[in-house]
A = this chain, B = another copy of it.
Amino acid sequence: MTTDVSAKMQRDSEGRLRHLITLEGMSRDELTALLDLAQFYVRSPGDLPARDQTLSGHTVANLFFEPSTRTRVSFELAAQRLGADVVNLDMQTSSRVKGETVLDTIYTLQAMHADILIMRDAEPGLPAHVANFVAPNVCILNAGEAHLSHPTQGLLDALTIRQHKPDFSKLKVLIAGDISHSRVARSAWHALTTLGVGELRIAAPDDLMPKASEFAGAKRFDDIDKAIAGTDVIMALRIQRERMSSAQIPDEATYHRAFGITVDRLKKANQGAIVMHPGPMNRDVEIASSVADGPQSVIQQQVTNGVAVRMAVLATVVRNVQSRRKLK
């Protein structure tokens, strides 16, 4: 299943968002509407209104076939803060072990009247596959799919940039690190391209650079010092130790020297440039600790925006379900 098909199938017959599987193929207006609603949900605890009950009476199920405490908790809190009932299924030890197909697990949750299924999986294609089969009132949200897609991460990255640099047409954005394996990079690229970012750059060691057919329109660099020069936004990606050797980089210190975002390198970016990271960070590997904690870092703001973006997505798909139901 290509992501183009995913983009089409995630809308209902009226063209409204039904599932969120990929940002590819979404329009600028659609993305902007989600970011605007997310911005509404960005509050400090002291500004919290009376409990929002948009999802009251709705059930959200977290199905994580790949572990991720951080993303799971972000979705869980987003759902709770909208009044939903939430259940967590640790799918690593669960039904697949017993030999039940994923689709049967989905049917089971649907039959229990779960309204929104949040899925993360290391294999590509599962969210779109599942979305083909669920009932009209059930929504599938992709919480991370192989190296391909992590749409709520792309949205929270776009929201964070917009809060600091609202005029996207003039922006130069750099994504640096293990691009080839990164769903974060792909979803950011989709969002930022659609939202009209001036220039998108990707920088990676040769072995971690994606195929030429991917990241259309992005400028490619194998030298991080050249890549960072003149940028307004720097997004460092998490590198995994096992990728380093494939990238012919023997250890973390070598990677840091070759590709880490350091204080010195950051000086080559434009004044006021912001530094992002999807987390969890390897401090002093892909990013210097002093940069992560420095004045240009917006990493914690990304986390805050993550909950707000997930609230916006949950609220949007539920309202679209309700609106479809009323039409009948």
Task: List A residues at the B interface (Cβ < 8 Å).
Answer: 43-46, 48, 50-51, 56-59, 61, 67, 69-70, 73-74, 76-77, 80-81, 85, 87, 89-91, 93-95, 98-101, 104-105, 107-115, 137, 279-283, 300-304, 306-307, 325
The interface residues of chain B lying within 8 Å CB-to-CB of A281 are 100, 104
Other-chain residue from B77, B85, B101, B301 in contact with A77 (beta carbon distance below 8 A): B85
Which 8 A-B pairs rank lowest in CB-CB distance, beginning with the nearest?
A100-B280, A111-B303, A111-B300, A69-B94, A80-B85, A111-B304, A48-B57, A45-B113
A76 and B87 within 8 A (CB): yes
The interface residues of chain B lying within 8 Å CB-to-CB of A44 are 113
B45 and A280 within 8 A (CB): no
The interface residues of chain B lying within 8 Å CB-to-CB of A91 are 69
| A290 → chain B closest CB, angstroms | 14
Q: Which residue of B lies closest to A302 (CB)?
A: B111
Other-chain residue from B70, B98, B109, B114 in contact with A108 (beta carbon distance below 8 A): B70
**CA gap between A137 and B93 in the complex, in Å:** 34
The interface residues of chain B lying within 8 Å CB-to-CB of A300 are 107-108, 110-111
A115 and B45 within 8 A (CB): yes
| A54 → chain B closest CB, angstroms | 14
| Interface hub of A43, A45, A61 (most chain B Cβ within 10 A) | A45
Seed contacts A46-B137, A80-B85, A108-B303; 11 additional CB < 8 Å A-B pairs: A69-B94, A69-B95, A70-B95, A70-B108, A73-B89, A74-B112, A77-B112, A95-B280, A100-B280, A110-B300, A112-B307
The interface residues of chain B lying within 8 Å CB-to-CB of A51 are 56-57
**CA gap between A59 and B67 in the complex, in Å:** 22
6 contacting pairs across A/B (C-beta < 8 A):
A74-B112, A81-B85, A101-B283, A107-B303, A110-B300, A111-B300
